[in-house]
Amino acid sequence: MTALVRWHVGPWTTRGTRPGEVPVAGRRRTVDELNFDVIGLARILGRRLSGRDELQVRLWQNELRPTHTRQCGVHTLADPSNAQLLHDTAQEALAWLSERAPEGYEFVLTDAVELRPLHDLSAAVVAVDAVVELADVPLPAARLATAHVRRSAAGDWYAGDAVCNWSGPHATSDEAVAAVQHARVELVEQLRAAGRDDLADTTSRWAVVPVESD
């Protein structure tokens, strides 16, 4: 089991309708469509299914999303027992995702699958994202301080998240990591200036700067 090395905080699927809520056609998934998205996300991130389970996914897809242009927010499974099976399978996929959350984070299912930093400041490892969220004040260094490092197809190294690059290109991964570490030093200074010594004092337990392997 390998934790993700590239991620972003926030939703990883389209927003959906929670049980009991009124669906919003064209804007929010139905409950069944959202459950199907949870299964799809896990497959994209590497979860392998048996041949029988793959066939079941195809059957759900045919009923919920036979074409890419089909409007969301209007389709549900006709058979309640089939919908329950879809729900149970989505929960299994969510558990698989949860096991692969980066240290200091968790996957949760709200109206989307979301990655959130754990706010436990007593933990052995504290996510910098959690510190930033708990501070709840403007922190200019926060964006780069929460970044991780990855290599581009061209061979250069960048610091950013799964969507954007905040620093780079750098010739080596060490240079990119150094940029993030410098931003973390600035973040500590900004936290203390904001009167949040309690958060700044967790710096020794911040997660190491993640580096995506070649």
DSSP 60-122: HHHHH-SSTTSPSSS---S-HHHHHHHHHHHHHHHHHHHHTSPTTEEEEESSSEEEEE---TT
User: Residue 125 has what pLDDT?
Assistant: 93
Q: pLDDT tier at 71 (50, 70, 90 boundaries)?
A: confident
Q: pLDDT tier at 57 (50, 70, 90 boundaries)?
A: very high
* Average pLDDT of the chain to the nearest whole number: 91
Mean pLDDT, range 162-182, rounded to an integer: 93
Type of residue found at 65: R
> Of 73, 81, 65, 88, which Cα lies nearest the Cα of 23?
73
Q: Tokens 């009991």 — which residue?
A: 20
Mean pLDDT, range 37-42, rounded to an integer: 95
- What percentage of the chain has pLDDT greater than the value 90? 76
User: Residue 2 has what pLDDT?
Assistant: 65
Q: 150-175 burial string, b = 16+ CB within 10 Å, else e?
A: bbeeeeebbbbbeeebbbbebeebee
Whether 70 has a pLDDT exceeding 80, the answer reads: no
Q: pLDDT tier at 72 (50, 70, 90 boundaries)?
A: confident
Mean pLDDT, range 74-92, rounded to an integer: 95
The rounded distance, in Å, linking the Cα atoms of 143 and 132 is: 9
The rounded distance, in Å, linking the Cα atoms of 9 and 113 is: 11
Q: Give SS3 for 166.
A: strand
More confident residue, 125 or 22: 125
Is residue 23 left, alpha or beta, with left meaning phi > 0 and alpha meaning psi from -120 to 50?
beta
Whether 27 has a pLDDT exceeding 90, the answer reads: no
> Of 146, 174, 173, 171, which Cα lies nearest the Cα of 160?
146
More confident residue, 186 or 71: 186
Q: Is the pTM of this model over 0.85?
A: no
Lowest mean pLDDT among 4-18, 125-139, 164-178, 194-208: 4-18
Type of residue found at 13: T
Would you kindly state where each structural domain of the chain is located, as residue ranges?
A: 10-115, 123-205
The tokens describing 80, both together, are 């309640």
Q: Which long-range contacts (CB under 8 A, 24 or more apart) does 198-205 make?
A: 198/121, 199/121, 199/131, 199/134, 199/135, 202/121, 202/126, 202/131, 205/123, 205/124, 205/125, 205/126
Question: Chain centroid to CA 62: how far?
Answer: 27
Type of residue found at 121: L
More confident residue, 167 or 7: 167
